[in-house]
A and B are shown apart, each in its own frame.
Chain A
């Protein structure tokens, strides 16, 4: 069966520091991959999606970037974190363009 992992589970970082969040999927190949952010009291907002290695699309202008160096690995990064980057980051995968399956998430606090 397929599983999705995210790490770290929680992270506290100072403003201006770099960021790297990792997401990996097991048990499938060539999945669509997605990064979402959930800010406090708000729904989930799609940040990036990828339909293949090195194929990344950005949905909103922001301080973050994404990369997909391997088929089942999706990385969310920032060179310099802002306070507004705080939130709950969710990675998701889909075998096609249908149902998405979500990881456990990373709670990021920027101080």
Chain B
């Protein structure tokens, strides 16, 4: 069965520190990849996505992610985090050509200290 694994469950950083959240998936076919974010008290919202093309994708608020097909990975990065980045981050995968069903990772809680 397909699965998504996020290695870091809880990350604590100081402001201006760099961030990298790991995400690996298990599926041998073509996939669409997503990072969603849930800020405290807000809806789950799309941070960035990869469908095809340039494997380095840029999202909102200075986030980016790199799709490395050989490693089945889609890690999320930000060079310098802010206190407002405190949130829960979810990696998700859908199978191309499917009904769009998303398989989510367990989520990573990021706490940024001012």
Interface residues of A (CB under 8 A from B): 32, 34, 36, 41-46, 49, 51, 57, 59, 90, 92, 94, 96-105
- 20 of the cross-chain contacts (CB-CB < 8 Å) are A32-B99, A43-B4, A43-B104, A43-B105, A43-B107, A57-B99, A59-B101, A90-B44, A97-B94, A97-B98, A97-B99, A98-B32, A98-B49, A99-B49, A100-B100, A100-B102, A101-B46, A102-B45, A103-B43, A104-B43
Contact partner of B104 (CB less than 8 A), chosen from A44, A98, A99, A105, is A44
Interface residues of B (CB under 8 A from A): 4, 6, 32, 34, 36, 43-46, 49, 51, 90, 92, 94, 97-107
Shortest beta-carbon distance from B106 to chain A in Å: 4
CA distance A99 to B6 in the complex (A): 20
Q: Which residue of B lies closest to A57 (CB)?
A: B99
CA distance A63 to B92 in the complex (A): 25
B interface, by DSSP: helix, strand, loop or mixed?
Answer: strand
Task: A46-B101, A51-B99, A57-B99 are known; give 12 further A-B pairs, CB within 8 A.
Answer: A36-B102, A36-B104, A43-B107, A94-B100, A97-B97, A97-B98, A98-B49, A99-B46, A99-B49, A100-B100, A102-B45, A103-B43
CA distance A40 to B9 in the complex (A): 13
Find chain B residues with CB under 8 A from A45 CB: 104
Asked if A96 meets B107 with Cβ closer than 8 Å, knowing A44-B90, A101-B46, the reply is: no
Find chain A residues with CB under 8 A from B46 CB: 99, 101
Asked if A42 meets B34 with Cβ closer than 8 Å, knowing A49-B101, A96-B100, A103-B43, the reply is: no
Q: Which residue of A lies closest to B105 (CB)?
A: A43
